[in-house]
Amino acid sequence: MMIIVSHDEAGDFKTIQEAINSLPQDNIAPVTILVKPGVYKEKLHLEVPFVTLKGEDAKATIFTYDDYADKLHEDGKKYGTFRSYSFFIGTHDIHIENLTIENSSGFGDQVGQAIAVYADGDKISFKNCRLLGHQDTLFTGPLPPTPIQPGSFIGPRENAERIIGRQYYENCYIEGEIDFIFGSATAFFYNCEIFSLNRNQEVNGYVTAPSTDEGEAYGYVFKNCKLTSDCEKHTVYLGRPWRNFAKAVFIHCEIGEHIKEKGWHNWNKKDAEEQSFFAEAENTGASAALDKRAHFSHVIKTSDLKHYSRQAVLCGEDKWMPWT
């Protein structure tokens, strides 16, 4: 089934949320929602499975909203991180293509965390998309088992069953500053550009902040990606552990000079130095040298790289793989 969304009379609906709301909650048939070019200022909520949401051109088809953590909610409390999203996905078998999804609220030191995409489910994939934000641009759910600060998980998944889902990002542009790719999912980023925004600080940011569950084989895998920036040289970390068993690896990536020589930060968690797995292999670029990397980081052997293919990371016994 095809549904068309357009600002003019050419579509079935004029807003994306109206199109989503027209679908049955127990949907089992593949549905494509085709979004015509335009700027759609909507706070989107998608919990219907087997949906493809597709634009014609990512730069011409933009979903945007501007909630943020420090903003006062109608319930009298601040939004917090996990109600600040522009687009929430809380289901499985979702494909997003040729779209820009933005949280336009601004820099984290002014508004706090502000999520563009909150993706929490299994078999969620993005292709040819632009994900724009500042602090906490992309949250790859689920939430960790417990919050460090009570009440800080308030939002659509605060008390939900945790599902360690698989997510896939191909040919995407992801932009942010502090911890702007974070969460507990197994996620594979292939041929993406990861852009760190300049805060004019001694530490301009952290690309990743995984919260991988203990015992999970993979957290974040970046392969054939480019890390770019407008930051000063050596002012951005590749990542730090939101939770102790965090995992993130960069393979065959181009590492720009904005990345610190140390590469990785322990977030002042000594236990995480032993329990996390931050690693690199065969990267290139101005800051790809490994001789000054943090002592707790790793180098993946060439013979082990086969374990980090898309199929190995995302499929296992389940042969799901988007766009193949």
Active site residue 57: no
Beta bridge partners of 189: 169, 222
Reduced to 3 states (helix: H, G, I; strand: E, B; else coil), residue 169 is: strand
Identify the band that residue 9 occupies on the pLDDT scale cut at 50, 70 and 90: confident
Contacts of residue 181, Cβ cutoff 8 Å, sequence gap at least 6: 137, 138, 140, 174, 187, 189, 194, 207, 208, 209, 220
Average pLDDT for 271-276: 98
Number of helical H runs and strand E runs in the chain: 4, 26
Amino acid at 172: C
Model confidence pLDDT, tens digit, residues 89-100 = 999 999 999 999
Looking at residue 73, the DSSP 8-state letter turns out to be P
Model confidence pLDDT, tens digit, residues 39-83 = 999 999 999 999 999 999 999 999 999 999 999 999 999 999 999
Whole-number pLDDT of residue 10: 85
CA distance 94 to 75: 31
Whole-number pLDDT of residue 6: 97
For 79-98, b/e burial (b = at least 16 CB within 10 A) is bbbbbbbbbbbbbbbbbbbb
Q: Which of 136, 213, 230, 318 is catalytic?
A: 136
Whole-number pLDDT of residue 29: 92
CA distance 129 to 137: 13
Report the percentage of the chain scoring pLDDT > 90: 95
Which DSSP helix (H) or strand (E) runs through 110? helix 108-111
Whole-number pLDDT of residue 316: 75
Q: Where are the domains of the chain?
A: 38-314
Do the Cβ atoms of 294 and 265 come closer than 8 Å? yes
CA triplet 138, 146, 239: central angle to 5 degrees? 40
Please report the sign of the dihedral spanned by the C-alpha atoms of residue 185, residue 186, residue 191, residue 194: positive
The topology (CATH level 3) of 38-314 is Pectate Lyase C-like (2.160.20)
Whole-number pLDDT of residue 230: 97
Identify the band that residue 271 occupies on the pLDDT scale cut at 50, 70 and 90: very high
Whole-number pLDDT of residue 27: 83
Please report the sign of the dihedral spanned by the C-alpha atoms of residue 304, residue 309, residue 314, residue 319: negative
**pTM more than 0.85:** yes
CA triplet 215, 155, 195: central angle to 5 degrees? 70
Reduced to 3 states (helix: H, G, I; strand: E, B; else coil), residue 94 is: strand
Mean pLDDT score of the chain, rounded to an integer? Answer: 96
Question: Over the Cα atoms of the chain, what is R_g?
Answer: 19
Given a cut of 70, whether residue 323 has pLDDT beyond it is no
CA distance 189 to 230: 21
Q: Which of 120, 122, 179, 213 is catalytic?
A: 179
Among the ranges given (137-141, 277-281, 309-313), the one the predictor scored with the smallest mean pLDDT? 309-313
Higher pLDDT, 317 or 120: 120
Model confidence pLDDT, tens digit, residues 15-38 = 999 999 999 988 889 999 999 999
Model confidence pLDDT, tens digit, residues 214-263 = 999 999 999 999 999 999 999 999 999 999 999 999 999 999 999 999 99
**Encoded tokens for 315:** 């499929």
Do the Cβ atoms of 121 and 89 come closer than 8 Å? yes
CA distance 83 to 73: 9
